[in-house]
Each structure stands twice: as C-alpha cells, then as structure tokens.
Amino acid sequence: MTRTWELGNNKNALPVDLVREQDFILRVRRLQKLGTPHLIVNLALNAVPALAKSSHQLEGVQTRLKEFASITNGTYFEMSNGDVFIVWEEANDAALLAARLIDVLPVPTDAHANVQFLLSYHMPRDYIPLRERANHYVEVARTGASMATEPSAPTAHLNAAQGPLTIESVGQIGRLLDDIDLRSYARTQPIYRMDERETWQRVSEEYFISFDDLRRERFPKLDLITPEHLFFALCEMMDQKLLTVLTEAHATIAGRALNFNLSVATVTGNVFTRFTHSVPHDQRELLTFELHRGDLFQDFSRTLDAIGLLHREGFRVAVDSVTPDMLPYLNFAAFAFDRIKINVSGDRIGLLADAAIRKALQQIPTDKLIFFRCDSEKALRAGRELGVRLFQGWHIDDAVGASAKR
C-alpha cells in the first residue's frame, strides 16, 4: 500500500531537507480538517521537456506562477524538485484561474503531448489522491528519484500483455490496485423516476468503477472482459478495494442515495463487514447493493444468504443485468429483491415485443423494475407502456437535461 506520511509536532518525523514537502502536507491536513472547499493544482514542471532541460527557464516559470498565485489570492508551494502546487479557496472563478495556468507553461512537443503536467484536486473530496501525490514528492526528495511518468515494471509488463485476461494478469492487476486510487476511476449515473406529471425525479446514483477508463490508462492492451470467470474474479477484487477506500473515507458518500455493484462472495467477507461498521444505521437504507444475476445462477443458496444478510444489516438489494429473454424462465419477483434491473439496450429492446416476456414483466411489481441502459426513445416508450417508472441510461440523462432547460 502507498505509505502516508503523518506529521505532527515531532520535528524528526521527516528529514530536515523536506521542509517544503512538510509545509504542504501540513496545509493539506488542515484543509481536510476544516472541510472548506478548495481547488489545488499541481504543476509537474519537470514533465515539460523545455523546463527539465533548462534551470533558467524553470526558475522563470516558477517566478511567474508565484506572481500569478499572489494576485489571484492563491497560496504557492514549491517542492524540492521544482514542481509546484497552488491552492485556491473554491469559488466560481477557481476553475478559470486553473485553466489560465497553462498559458504560463511552454507548449509541449508532440512527442510529449500525452504527459500530464497539470493535475487538479478538489478538497476535501480528493484528499486521498492528493496525499498520495504529496507522498510521491516526499519519496522523490528522500531518494533523488524522478517524477517520471514511465510505468513501473509491473505496469509495463501488463502494457506489453495482449488479449484476454489470464490468471497471471489478474494477480498482477490486484497487486497494482494497491497503488491506484480507484476513486479517480469512479463514475456515477443517476437513476430517475418519472412521476405522474411526467417530470423526472432523481432517486439514486449508481457508483461504479469505469473499466473502460481503467483499461485505457493502465492496461491498454488487455481485454478485461474475457474470459468471463476471470472478469468476475477481477470485479470481486475491485469491489473489495473500493469498499476498503470507502470504509476509510465514508464522508465522501455520507447522506447520498447510491447503488453499488457487489459480488456475493464479497458480501460474506471481512472487507464488507468493516465497511458495514463504518456506515451509521440510519444511513444504510440509502445504499443499494446490486448483485449480478450470474451469482444467482451460479449458486442460489449462497445468493439467498447474501440477500438476507444485506437486508438484516439495513441495506437494499437489487439484481443487476437481467435481460428480457430470461424473464419467462425465472420468476425474479419471487426473490427478496428491492429492485430488478432489466437491460433494455439497443440489441435487446426488440425482445420486449415478445408476448411471453411482456407477460413475465407484468407479473413483477412496477415499483421494483428499473429499465437500465435505456439509450433510446424506443426503450423509454416501451417501459412507459408497461408501467415502468424507474429508468437509467444516457437517453434519460439527455431527456432530464432538456427538461431542465425548458
């Protein structure tokens, strides 16, 4: 795991040559305790080729950045290696100020166009990734290492791997996840209810890890989806990593109605037990855990036990990824699910015209049904004809946005 440097009154906590890093980490800790929104921008000046080659140009840019921070009521922090952090209290123009920073830097050459030399953090939400970034600067100052963006050896090995997942690559990904803040790959998508006046009401948000973004940035040559059993093993591993992060920083989800994907195996493990203890009882009904229908098919008994455990702890439970063609063959309403998520993507929407499927849908209480991947007007119209009120998908996001503008 990434080490976290804790600084207090002990002046020997860090070597004497880390005063700059110590001052910045102390400021970050104070901001976290205060909870006041701040924008913090990290400029990795050494990642800009022209500056890495010329100390004269580097000093010139640092001077201009310091002046810019001063006139915009920001606080300037310079690291031992020359990189810079600027802290602003969050305001309407904070993002605009950060965007103007790019004008101070030399334009990178095409060969370095993909190097990230400007990183933004929003406090207190991004406390963990910001502390990890600060920890890197501590290591740089202590060891004289560089802040190069080249991948570590395990990452490089995975980048060289191609094709479907293997047992070896899943294990390597698991080890790499210890040093990756999964919240940077976390995404949310709302779930909406259409009320009787045909207006949209947000009822929850699904909180999930974007496999596409994770694969593109960390494992671009691997197929993270196949084979299916290894993909589910990877999902279980990521469930546990994410729950660990959220257990340590429960304030980031406190008071929010959220849905999380979860494997049955994770429900019965120690990681989930620790997460449960971190959630106050009066907030648990806000959280819905979505169990994949694959777990249900693979082990009915174990899945029923998991549903019972989640309900006893005060959480809600949904079954995820049900396709319309399954409905005539399994009575999902017979299980104690609070929600049943039906995939109505473009390649499945035509199935809703089948009489047997429509009959099976009509036997499920409409308040339990969620049409997800609702990405077309046809899917929305079919759901409304069947009495469905809960929807999720980019078409719904667009419809809600259009409605808000009117």
Q: Which fold has domain 16-150?
A: Alpha-Beta Plaits (3.30.70)
Instruction: Tell me the pLDDT tens digit for each residue of 228-244.
Output: 778 888 888 888 888 98
Strand order in the sheet with 84-89: 75-78, 84-89, 38-43, 118-123
Domain ranges of the chain: 16-150, 167-405
For the purposes of burial, counting CB atoms within 10 Å of the CB of 405, is it exposed (0-12), middle (13-18) or buried (19 or more)? Answer: exposed
Instruction: Tell me the pLDDT tens digit for each residue of 210-269.
Output: 877 787 777 878 887 778 778 888 888 888 888 988 898 888 888 999 999 999 989 988
Give me the numbers of helices (H) and strands (E) for the chain, helices first please: 16, 14
Query: Tokens representing 197?
Result: 């006046």
Residue 10 — pLDDT band, cuts 50, 70, 90? Answer: very low
Model pTM score: 0.62
* Domain range 167-405, CATH class: alpha beta
DSSP track, 224-247: SS-SHHHHHHHHHHHHHHHHHHHH
Which residue in the block uniquely carries the two structure tokens 């976390």? 186
- What SS3 state is found at 175? helix
Residue in 219, 154, 251, 203 with CA at minimum distance from that of residue 369 = 203
Q: Specify the pLDDT at position 105.
A: 66
Please, what is the average pLDDT of the chain?
A: 82
Tell whether the model's pLDDT for residue 183 goes beyond 70: yes
- What SS3 state is found at 5? coil
Which residue in the block uniquely carries the two structure tokens 């999720």? 392
Between 237 and 147, residue with greater pLDDT = 237
The torsion region of residue 122 among left (phi > 0), alpha (psi -120 to 50) and beta comes to: beta
Residue 308 — pLDDT band, cuts 50, 70, 90? Answer: very high
The torsion region of residue 317 among left (phi > 0), alpha (psi -120 to 50) and beta comes to: beta
